[in-house]
Amino acid sequence: MKKLTLVLSICLMINTSFAQRWITTFGTTNHYDEVYDLLEDYDNGNYLVGWDFISNGNGKGRNIKTDINGSLLFERRLINPQVSVGIAACQDYEGNKYITGVDFTDINTPFVVKLNACGEKVWCSLLKHWDFLWGSPIDILINDDGNILVLARFEDGGQQINQIYLLCYNPDGEFLWAKPYASKTEHPLISFAYGTKLYHFGEDYIISGYCYYPYPDDPNHVWLRPLFIGIDSLFNEKWILPFGVDDSIVGKAYSAIPLNDSVIMGVGSKFLDYPNGNIRNSLLMFFNHEGEELGYTRIWGDSIVPSTQDNALAEIEKINDSLYLATAVFGPLTTANPYGEMVIDTSGKVYNTLSQPNTTGVLPLLRKTFDNKYVIAQGVYESDNMHTNIMLLKINANLEQDTLYTQNFVYDSLCPNPIVSGDIDMTNCTLVQVSIDEAPTPEEYYKSLDAIPVKAYPNPADEFIRLDYKHTEHHQNINLICYDITGQKVHTEDIATGQQGSKIDVSGWGSGLYMAVVTSGGRIVGKVKFIVK
């Protein structure tokens, strides 16, 4: 059996006259390790989601936790014979992590798994729809209602009707609704739509991505375009914006950031004009919450570093009111350049750059930290220039590697015991088999919240009747009234907002049929019949 090395966690300490600085790598020798998402944890540590696989595709999803200096605290691996890979993660105020990814059993199926503050699996849900060839989640966030939103793409066998979806789950893992956006039904000229990031800016949700879209005078010939989608707080599509159609922009949008309450800046790339169409230029795209284009700025290669050819912006964070730090790919080659960082302004002026040699893989991740520094996660080649590790580093706004903290920090304080590395079994997830196109829509779901469904058990009852309620957290001034068959009130009770049930003593009631009625603000919102023996 091939001997595998243990997880490698190396801090490269660079001694200076001031302090130590760090870059950390994680990997298994002769494996391909990749990172797909990066969180700053509630305790200021770093949480990475990715995977470790070998050449035949067998591998395990990785969930890595480090301290503030990038040193490994623990790792939780997703174990599944057919491979489960986490793609994106978010966390709530209780320290729970919600990770969405792909299960490769049968067909590529999106999953969502909830891990508690101790890294233990609380629930896992698989969403399978056999009419799609595959489904892939891309991003995840928690909305103002505490529900989990997953940005996903489904492949419908080439029809390209509905491809970009939002999926919604409640914190208990119940699948609530699904809705397509940038649908070909509503936008017949769009093709191969793909979302790259999901954001909540002000009252709106914004999806960045790309699609194929034609010039106005030639609807039969489509071109690769940056794409932005605006969605309101009730998850209605407000607009789609294939960016720069009139300006002949061919390229992609990878991420976005709000400049103020009304203007959003997307970042990505624009392919050069003929004859060098395979080379990209970094691109800043400006638009508002009404989906109106406000202009764009193209960053030419020589303005980054002389002789730069292919270059593209990936993710961006704010430094101050005028400067931004972005991860990017740039270099002298026409393709396969390493990753690095740039400091830019909204005019496209480049103030500083830093290249990270031997970096590779998916586009680099960037997060601004509590101390106004920047953590970056990306792939880096092993010494054989073939296999890859995960590289984590922290820099300041001057693109200098950050100094190490020397004081002690308390990590994972929401867990009563230290978290140890281990495995997470992904073979027993709850399977939700649903037609995506027939799943409840947000409109149908929110309409259902107007009601309070009531269940009664045991039914018939002899000594006690139990009533279960749903959706009471969305109501106030709730009352319960029980009537006998003649319409006489036999029981009244105030129901608290969020109350999930009542237990009523019916031992003194006469035998017969009764009705429990629930009102909210004087309006009947639920009722159920039951029998007393």
What are 58-115's pLDDT values in tens digits?
Answer: 789 999 999 999 999 999 999 988 888 999 999 999 999 999 999 888 778 899 999 9
Alpha-carbon span 356 to 378, nearest angstrom:
10
235: Cα within 13 Å, side-chain hemisphere: 24
Average pLDDT, the chain: 90
Residues 6+ apart with CB under 8 A from 282: 267, 268, 269, 298, 299, 304, 311, 312, 313, 326, 328, 330, 342, 348
Render pLDDT for 249-266 as a digit per residue (tens, 0 to 9): 999 999 999 999 999 999
Domains of the chain: 451-532 (2.60.40.1220)
Alpha-carbon span 480 to 493, nearest angstrom:
5
Within 10 angstroms of residue 460's Cβ, the number of other Cβ atoms is 13
Three-state DSSP state, 505? strand
Q: Bridge-partner residues for 518, per DSSP? A: 480, 526
Residues 6+ apart with CB under 8 A from 520: 452, 475, 476, 477, 478
Render pLDDT for 353-403 as a digit per residue (tens, 0 to 9): 999 999 999 999 999 999 999 999 999 999 999 999 999 999 999 999 999
Render pLDDT for 195-221 as a digit per residue (tens, 0 to 9): 999 999 999 999 999 999 998 888 888
Asked whether the predicted pLDDT for residue 484 surpasses 90, the reply is: yes
Q: How far is CA 496 from the centre of its chain?
A: 33
Render pLDDT for 229-249 as a digit per residue (tens, 0 to 9): 999 999 999 999 999 999 989
Query: Mean pLDDT, to the nearest integer, of 521-533?
Result: 92
Query: Mean pLDDT, to the nearest integer, of 21-50?
Result: 94
Alpha-carbon span 373 to 393, nearest angstrom:
11
Question: What pTM did the predictor assign?
Answer: 0.85
